[in-house]
């Protein structure tokens, strides 16, 4: 039966039942598609082919049982509609499922998530969130140096990272997906439209949601504040920041702050918040800097954006499987969500760089 998979693919594409019916030139009605999704009817081969083509998936995908289900999700901001939330969750599931499929094909020794010693950790204040970040850096042998590539670092520890084209008000989300083998996998999705520094902060913030246990009685704003403090401490260690700018300052220049952006991979605003949290500057100095951010129109988009880090492990595994003939070009195309023609072009580009002849 194709119902569950059809529903997942449709939601991941952000389509309503009527939208999907229109995309297949109304070969069947929206009501018929609803019946397919509830396994009350079965599409014929022609309709099935049209549905798969419209959704950008294979017919095999629609018939496959699926290996994961969503266990829990945390959104940075309340979404505007249930449909938007369902679309985002479906996209995450589709991305992670492809990821797990290529790992299974290669029988790779995947990095499986395991909580570090002493985690998850209960926190009831911002100071405890700060301490948790320090403890986690110690458990992961990070010292006090900034983390050069946070995406790669998290993926090496078994956290799946996906980049999705999200509405601007959504920075990211984290969720747990449950594999059919019973294991739970943490996933962080970030907005691919955001600058590099904002993505890194979102990654660190969502990591906080993974490793912190916050009392359920705490309101959402306070809960987000704990994860903000955790992210700041994880990205911008106290000792290193103080070594750069000193322990107590009356104020900081914009030149100093922006010079630190590439050092810590953090926005100027995050660095300013961090200086206030650590009492490097007082409230008056903090307000003065943010007044200047507002005056220059930098609150939403700062100058000198950092290059965004991208997850590369999934793509690398796909190319490895293709080169070792574990999968066909059509399967690589399906996994990478790239047309076969584009895949072939990419192969020839790589071959040209390597001085190979694929004729």
If one looks up domain 1-65 in CATH, what number appears? 1.10.260.40
* Spatial contact of 233 and 128, defined as CB atoms under 8 Å apart: no
Q: What pTM value is reported for the model? A: 0.86
d(CA 288, CA 276): 12
Q: How confident is the model at residue 348 (pLDDT cuts 50, 70, 90)?
A: low
pLDDT tens column, 153-203 = 999 999 999 998 888 888 888 999 888 888 889 999 999 999 999 999 999
List the chain domain ranges: 1-65, 313-354
Under 8 Å between Cβ of 129 and 120: no
Residues near 168 by beta carbon (within 8 Å), at least 6 away in sequence: 191, 193, 194
- Per-residue pLDDT reduced to its tens digit, 113-147: 999 999 999 999 999 999 999 999 999 999 999 99
Both tokens assigned to 62? 């629609």
């Amino acid at each position: 039966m194709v119902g569950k998979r059809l529903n997942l693919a449709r939601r991941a594409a952000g389509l309503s039942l009527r939208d999907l019916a229109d995309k297949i030139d109304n070969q069947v009605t929206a009501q018929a598609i609803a019946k397919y999704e509830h396994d009350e009817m079965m599409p014929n081969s022609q309709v099935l082919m049209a549905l798969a083509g419209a959704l950008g998936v294979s017919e095999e995908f629609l018939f496959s049982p699926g290996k994961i289900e969503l266990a829990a999700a945390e959104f940075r901001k309340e979404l505007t509609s249930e449909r938007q939330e369902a679309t985002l969750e479906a996209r995450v599931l589709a991305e992670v499922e492809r990821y797990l499929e290529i790992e299974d094909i290669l029988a790779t020794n995947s990095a499986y998530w395991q909580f570090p010693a002493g985690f998850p950790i209960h926190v009831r204040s911002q100071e405890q969130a700060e301490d948790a970040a320090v403890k986690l850096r110690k458990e992961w042998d990070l010292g006090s140096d900034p983390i050069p590539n946070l995406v790669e670092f998290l993926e090496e520890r078994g956290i799946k990272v996906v980049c999705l084209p999200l509405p601007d008000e959504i920075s990211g989300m984290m969720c747990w997906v449950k594999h059919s083998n019973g294991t739970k996998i943490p996933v962080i999705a970030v907005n691919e439209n955001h600058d590099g520094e904002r993505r890194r902060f979102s990654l660190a913030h969502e990591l906080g949601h993974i490793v912190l246990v916050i009392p359920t009685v705490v309101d959402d704003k306070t809960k987000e504040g704990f994860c903000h403090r955790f992210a700041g401490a994880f990205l911008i260690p106290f000792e290193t920041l103080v070594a750069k700018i000193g322990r107590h300052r009356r104020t900081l220049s914009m030149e100093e702050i922006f010079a630190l952006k590439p050092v810590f991979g953090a926005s100027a605003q995050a660095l300013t918040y961090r200086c206030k949290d650590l009492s490097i500057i007082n409230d008056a100095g903090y307000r003065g800097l943010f007044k200047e951010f507002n005056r220059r129109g930098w609150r939403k988009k700062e100058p000198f954006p950092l290059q965004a880090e991208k997850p590369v492990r999934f793509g690398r595994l796909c190319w490895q499987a293709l080169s070792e003939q574990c999968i066909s070009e059509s399967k690589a195309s399906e996994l990478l969500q790239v047309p076969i023609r584009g895949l072939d072009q990419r192969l020839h580009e790589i071959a040209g760089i390597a001085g190979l002849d694929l004729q």
